[in-house]
Amino acid sequence: MLKVIIIPGIMVVSFSHFLVELFGRILPHAFYSFFKEIGTIFVIVVALLFVVTWLLRARPRNFPKNYHLICFDVFGEKSIIDGLRTEFKTNDVAWSFMREYKNRFPLYHFALVVDDSNSEKEMIIRYI
């Protein structure tokens, strides 16, 4: 009678110990190391994609060298107002002067134009 209870009991305990070891330590460690490596590779790939897209978007551009202001009267015709500065080297300075001139001369409209020698037509950047 003892053999009938002890041998199956030992078999159940050893099999359950095997299952506990398998699902408790062996498989989780294998999957953990696998997913840890996959996570590292994923972070590296995302970082490389970011660097590549940044390098492609941050390529040097040719900005215009000169900017001009053109004045338009109420009828939309080009006009010249004496004493106005119309030649500028940077966009920010030209935009600042353009806003100031609009405050001083509210009946006139002003256009900020790029001086591009390759183009026949003037390209208006801003208009107020």
On the question of pLDDT at 47 being above 90, the answer is yes
Mean pLDDT computed over 83-97: 84
Mean pLDDT computed over 17-32: 81
On the question of pLDDT at 61 being above 80, the answer is no
On the question of pLDDT at 49 being above 70, the answer is yes
Percent of the chain with pLDDT over 90: 9
Give the model's pLDDT for residue 44: 93
Q: Which residue has the tokens 């294998």?
A: 30
Q: Which residue has the tokens 């953990």?
A: 32
Mean pLDDT computed over 90-103: 86
On the question of pLDDT at 48 being above 90, the answer is yes
Rounded Cα–Cα distance for residues 82 and 79 (Å) = 10
What single string gives the DSSP state of each residue in 21-90?
HIIIIIHHHHHHHHHHHHHHHHHHHHHHHHHHHHHHHT------S-EEEEEE-TTS-EE--TT---EESS
Segment (H or E) for 10:
helix 2-21
On the question of pLDDT at 83 being above 80, the answer is yes
Mean pLDDT computed over 59-84: 81
Direct distance between the N- and C-terminal alpha carbons of the chain, in angstroms, rounded to an integer: 104
